Chains A and B, each alone.
Chain A
Amino acid sequence: MQPPILEARGLMKRYGKTQALAGLDLVVSPGRVVALLGPNGAGKTTFVRAVATLLRPDAGTLYVDGIDALRKPAKVRQVVGLAGQFAAVEEAMTGRENLQMVGRLFGLGNKEARAAAVRVLDQMRLTADADRLVRTYSGGMRRRIDLGISLVGTPRLLLLDEPTAGLDPGSRIQLWDVIRSLVLAGTDILLTTQYLDEADRLASDIVIIDHGQVIAAGTPAELKSRAGDDMIEVHVRDAGHLAVVSGLLAEIGHDPRVDLPQRRAYVAVNDGSSRLMDALRALDGHGIAVEDVSLRRPTLDEVFLALTGKQAQA
């Protein structure tokens, strides 16, 4: 039996007053594409940096492909590839030269490094631009060459830290295509993202992290069935009506919730448009004056809420 590609237990990391990792537990078997989803400051990047051996956890155990990352970080570096939030490439070199350089650092000979560069350029769909200086590349192309660099060494586990942050929609879709082709080729991936749709499109499993802990995990389908319902949001004119509205909404959907200072009540519903009609009728029947009523997809915060029963804190 193969060891888990990743096994983290009780990981802790503190920066000054911030507890970046607060006892994070996660075990990932080989052959999966896992998305770590969570708000800014949730601990996603800290976790990825710990796996890449760029930082040392204060406590806990961490095994990558069966290797103890705390005791043998050098061995872990032989099996992971990292592509970060920045495109860490040399702008004054061509795409091909960047790949060959990293190939040499991975311990390949000159000839092997050249062959690896050709392979990766093809994988990244950059063959046509291989011999241009990276400083002439677009943002999306830079991200692809950056991703490519992490693949030169054919890692067992590829770490992608917010691979599409800051990209325009077109480049993001292109990068998704490239990542998906890696997935089909069987690369294990751990990626972080703030975007539910990104996790949904790329990952076989989604792990939701907040305050340095795993708060929920499952396949996208599982998480959606638990949290993917539409939301009806009622903004009342008089805060005194909120209790009544909350009661009415509870009959229409599930997990009703009230935001007193905002004078808003929310409820999750699974048949949005017809439940919206029910809500309007009920409100009208009780003569409740409203500023606004809306039907929308849940926000990431509401996914947290539905999955954990507690409000995600900013």
Chain B
Amino acid sequence: MTDAYVIAPSPAVPRARVNTGASLWVSSLVVAGRMVRKFARTPQLIVFTTVQSALFLLMFRFAFGGAIGTGGSLSYVNFLVPGFIASSILWSGMGAATGVAEDVEHGFVDRLRSLPIPRAAVLVGRSLADAALLVWALAVAAVLGFAVGFRVTGSIGDALAAFGLCLVFGFAFEWVFIVIGLVSGTARAAQSMGLLVTPLVFLSSAYVPVKSMPAGVRQFSEIQPLTPMVNAVRGLATGARGQALLDHGTSYYVGLSLAWAAAIFVVFGLLAVLRFGRR
């Protein structure tokens, strides 16, 4: 082994103070604050996502809706809107995947990781901000839903519970998209990978009754997580008429979807932490 090159000292070096770094809570809030500000100050992002989901809703409500029977006494608009709101968690999650990948790509994540803060703060802050943006996205989706003629036909309490469920699902799915963002490396790749969730939305009970699907597709729809989530939200928001379309009671779907959400959160949360901690 060769000797190391030793670079000689200069006299009288002033020493800087040591930075202790912020606590997990403070640093998570600071990281989250940055993201919320970024969102609020990028009007094209807000307008674009709102217009996109409005167009989507209008097409199903007015162009395709007439051809889709609900198989019961529930009107299509009341069938559609709960599915639309529940599936909007996936659209908003795609934005999160792109955002995470962008931060990795442009060195922002490295910058945060080089600071004296708990590394968990980067992920916790991210998910806090995503939760806030999710509330916004769900509220926008709900307002659009009411605008195209949706009316709550169950109890108001149940409808609020349905909204709360969407938040829980959204929060769980957020971690799927954080993992996609971390592994994809570039924003462009994250966007493409994010689009892989599209089949989950369309091969579910969100826009059309599962019973109308051919056998193989129907089986997939029935076992994938979004269908019980949509069924739970629809059952709560539309009361008896919505429940009449379901094979089981609403509470069955609430329980099943919460189990899914917990599983997704645990598995993908762990994957995100492992991937993030790697160095």
Contacts and interface: CB of A to CB of B under 8 A. Distances in A.
A84 interface: yes
Interface stretch (B34-42, B251-259, B260-268): B34-42
B270 interface: no
A104 B41 contact: no
Contacts of B47: none
Contacts of B30: 101, 104-105
Given A9-B4, A105-B22, A107-B20, A2 B38 contact: no
Contact of A153 (B4, B15, B19): B19
B4 A26 contact: yes
Given A88-B106, A105-B115, A78 B20 contact: yes
A54 B114 contact: yes
B112 A105 contact: yes
A154 B107 CA distance: 21
Q: Chain B binding site: helix, strand, loop or mixed by DSSP?
A: loop
Contacts of B107: 84-88
A10 B41 CA distance: 48
Interface stretch (A29-37, A257-265, A292-300): A29-37
Looking at B5, B11, B20, which has the most chain A CB atoms within 10 Å of its CB? B5
Contacts of A8: 4
Contacts of A80: 114
Given A53-B114, A74-B116, A92-B38, A105 B21 contact: yes
B215 interface: no
Given A10-B1, A34-B7, A105-B112, A56 B21 contact: no
A88 B111 contact: yes
A79 to B, nearest CB: 6
Interface string B238-279: 000000000000000000000000000000000000000001
Interface in A97-117: 97, 101-102, 104-107
Given A56-B279, A88-B107, A105-B27, A77 B21 contact: yes
B14 interface: yes
A27 B4 CA distance: 6
A92 to B, nearest CB: 4
A204 B8 CA distance: 10
A59 interface: no
Given A10-B1, A23-B1, A90-B34, A29 B112 contact: no
A28 B108 contact: no
Contact of A55 (B8, B17, B279): B279
Q: Categorize the interface residue count of chain A.
A: 35 or more
Interface string B39-52: 00110000000000
A143 B112 CA distance: 17
Interface string A133-150: 100000000000000010
A7 B37 CA distance: 41
Interface centre among A2, A78, A87, A204 (most CB of B within 10 A): A78
A7 B5 CA distance: 10
Give the bracket for the number of chain B residues in contact with chain A: 35 or more
Contact of B9 (A31, A54, A156): A31
B114 to A, nearest CB: 4
- Select the residue from B21, B26, B108, B114 with max chain A CB neighbours within 10 A: B114
A54 B113 CA distance: 7
Nearest to B113: A54
Contacts of B15: 156
A84 B111 contact: yes
B22 A107 contact: yes
Interface in B142-198: none
A25 interface: yes
Contacts of A81: 114
Contacts of A53: 113-114, 279
A302 interface: no
A10 B10 CA distance: 25
Nearest to A214: B5
B4 A25 contact: yes
Contacts of A205: 7
Contacts of B33: 101
B22 A84 contact: no
A82 interface: yes
A186 interface: yes
A207 interface: yes
Contact of A78 (B12, B21, B31, B112): B21
B108 A90 contact: yes
Given A27-B4, A105-B21, A82 B110 contact: yes
Name the residue among A23, A25, A55, A92 with the largest chain B CB count within 10 angstroms: A92
Given A55-B279, A77-B115, A32 B4 contact: no
A133 B114 CA distance: 24
Interface in A10-63: 10, 23, 25-32, 34, 49, 52-56
Contacts of B11: 31
A106 B116 contact: yes
A77 B13 CA distance: 20
B38 A93 contact: yes
Interface in A146-188: 149, 153-156, 186-188
Given A29-B6, A87-B107, A105-B112, 16 more contacts: A2-B13, A10-B1, A26-B5, A26-B7, A32-B7, A32-B9, A52-B114, A77-B114, A78-B116, A88-B106, A91-B38, A106-B115, A107-B21, A154-B19, A186-B13, A217-B5
Lowest 3 A-B CB distances belong to which pairs?
A: A25-B4, A31-B10, A29-B9
